[in-house]
Amino acid sequence: MTDDEPAAGGGSGGGRPDKRHDGEERGESDVGEFTLSTFHEVSGREGRPVLTASAVANALGIDQSEASDRLASLAERGELERLSVSTDPVVWYPSELEDLTARERVVVFPKRREIVVDRPDQFTRAQLSSFAHLADTNGERGYRYVVRAEDVWRAPHEEIEALRRTMRQALGQRSAELEAFVESQWDRARQFTLRSHPEGYTILEAASPEIMGNVARQKLDEEQIHAPISETEDWVREGEEAAIKRLLYEAGYPVRDERDLAGGDPLEIELSVSLRDYQRDWVDRFAEAGEGVLVGPPGSGKTVAAMGAMGHVGGETLILVPSRELVRQWADSLVELTSLEPDQIGQYHGGRKEVRPVTIATYQIAGMDRHRSLFDDREWGLVVFDEVHHVPSDVYRRSARLQSRHRLGLTASAIREDDRGSEIFTLVGPPIGTDWEALFSAGFVAEPELEIRYVPWEEDAENAYAAAEGRERYRLAGENPGKIDEIRYLLASHPGAKALVFVDYLDQGEAISAALDVPFVSGETPHAERRRLFDAFRRGERDRLVVSRIADEGIDLPTADVAVVASGLGGSRRQGTQRAGRTMRPAGGATVYVLATRGTREEEFARRQLQHLGRKGISVTERTIDRD
């Protein structure tokens, strides 16, 4: 079998399968009942809707004459048709060919550890997402998954047998080579464990003296380890748990954290709203592990689920967020949606310094030496990291020292352009999420329509672009004045809709603001004015805003109907997710327009940003704008 050939069932000798579809062993001559379903299975492996008797014989490990008899039997029942062609005496195909084309099909490429699925149903996608990474999809019928080491490490299964069952159900077959890889990575993820010693300190335990000596004691030094206790146990220095996790993860050995986490001073918290089924599943999975990262699209209710986790822990809680606006939003939501009173909630940022049973602070101030002791010294039962993709950055990493508490992260996308996204799960906890498309299908979150619109230059601007170099060319493409007319046209096409226009450049934001007579909110806007404008937008008293990067994440604008991205296409894929997410909500009809200047690198940037959303099941269209 070449590297590009699909698996034919995991058996040996001419690609013959060694298992029935239901997993029971059989001999070569015992192929069981030959039905139309059997034909479909072989057709799926072969990757074509018509089969010869020899292809069926090879796939099932039987003689060609026996295969011909069985095919003829199905033809007599009207389930197959036969056709003579020049390259083979007879080919066979289903009488109802659409039955084959409408059927979910799975093809495995074990050497590449890839799984290609045609028309997978929601259950199959959920199964695959528990041990594989969705690498690509066209948003309609074709899905490509890759099984990576980290996907196996994070698989939500207690026993390897349960993971095997999930794989076989999802694939409809056994793949011995793929299962061997999964089992090896399953074992890797169980070589090291952090435990609490009865005397109160932390120990690192290895599965064997060899793995301790050859890996841990080679990668760790006196900064992380106080002293060996035995051949398989080391005494961990206080506060170095995060460093140990990170170093061993980078060596290919994730660490299981089974310490007795601090519960903090008791604090009763009850939700005044009911959790959706998937939110309850998130909370249950967090409760079982004591840590985790909720990964879901904007509008899926991660904040409400986090409040459910707070209720489960029942202890004092520290919530870390990236901005002062999010501090206030959390405080307001906690009062509205839980049994907490306002005097139980503290805000800790540049303008206020309150430490209370539930304290909401910015990452930046929590990481400062003069403030960090306030958080380290208090016995928090839970630490919530909102917009958790900030945690690995150099500015915010110190806040992850709070390793002795229950930890919960929230994010729409854990992608980081510096490839340090794995640290999120290393420092905070494993991902806990739900298939985006499943939430769209169930109606919990509206799937926005995304359209890239390639806008022509204004003549003078194009000449300036041709004469410029480097970053200046990128800025000129982003600020193309021709985009103002396009924004005006798009907003007129959605009368009465709430709309946000995103920009990366202050001069462009001010120009659009003046042209449309719409307020521009940026980092230079005073906090009080910023809050007044966002509140007016939220209440429906204002239906248009031009916003800078400050609205890319966290700002609670759940009722936006239209988003127009005028510039910033060289930003991260996460930024594209956040901007699209400003329109996601239970009601439908939301639209995102991305404006790219035609004939510039903005075209490439637009496709790159939105390709990530396409892989999550959101459809993306493109349109070239002509002005003659």
Alpha-carbon 467 to chain mean position: 41
Instruction: Specify the range with the lowest mean pLDDT, choosing from 171-175, 451-455, 466-470.
Output: 466-470
Q: How many Å apart are CA 516 and CA 340, to the nearest integer?
A: 43
How far apart are alpha carbons 576 and 563 in whole angstroms? 11
| 168 Cβ contact list (under 8 Å, min separation 6) | 23, 174
> SS3 of 597, please?
strand
Classify domain 36-100 at the CATH class level: mainly alpha
Residue 146 burial (C-beta neighbours within 10 Å; 0-12, 13-18, 19+):
middle
Neighbouring CB atoms inside 10 A of 280's CB total: 13
Q: Which whole number is the average pLDDT over 110-132?
A: 82
Q: Which of residues 393 and 46 earns the better pLDDT score?
A: 46
* List of residues 6+ apart from 24 with CB closer than 8 A: none
pLDDT in tens, 206-239: 999 999 999 999 999 999 999 999 999 999 998 8
What is d(CA 347, CA 331) in angstroms, rounded to the nearest whole number?
A: 8
Please say if the pLDDT value at position 540 is more than 50: yes
Where along the chain do the CATH 3.40.50.300 domains lie? 277-441, 446-624
Closest CA to 362 of 523, 298, 372, 416: 372
Please state, in angstroms and rounded to a whole number, the distance separating the CA atoms of residues 149 and 34: 37
- The pLDDT assigned to 341 comes to 96
Least confident of 120-129, 261-270, 500-509: 120-129
- Per-residue pLDDT tens digits for 543-593: 999 988 765 444 554 467 888 888 875 444 444 444 444 444 444 557 888
Q: How confident is the model at residue 147 (pLDDT cuts 50, 70, 90)?
A: very high
- Residue 98 clears pLDDT 80, i.e. is over it: no
Give the per-residue pLDDT at 371.
75
Three-state DSSP state, 111: coil
Note whether 146 and 129 are within 8 A (CB).
no
The domain 446-624: what is its CATH number?
A: 3.40.50.300
pLDDT at 472 over 50: yes
Q: Does 29 score more than 80 pLDDT?
A: no
Tell the residue number behind the tokens 């809707």, with chain if given. 49
- Distances, alpha carbon 193 to alpha carbons 190, 227, 228, 253, 270, in Å: 7, 16, 15, 10, 33
CA distances from 119 to 19, 125, 613 (A): 24, 10, 19
**Taking the domain 277-441, which CATH number applies?**
3.40.50.300
Please tell me the distance from the alpha carbon of residue 180 to that of residue 167, in angstroms, as a whole number: 12
Which of residues 553 and 121 earns the better pLDDT score? 121
Minimum mean pLDDT among 198-202, 283-287, 609-613: which range?
609-613
Question: Would you tell me how many other CB atoms lie within 10 Å of the CB of residue 79?
Answer: 16
Q: Give ranges for CATH 1.10.10.10 in the chain.
A: 36-100
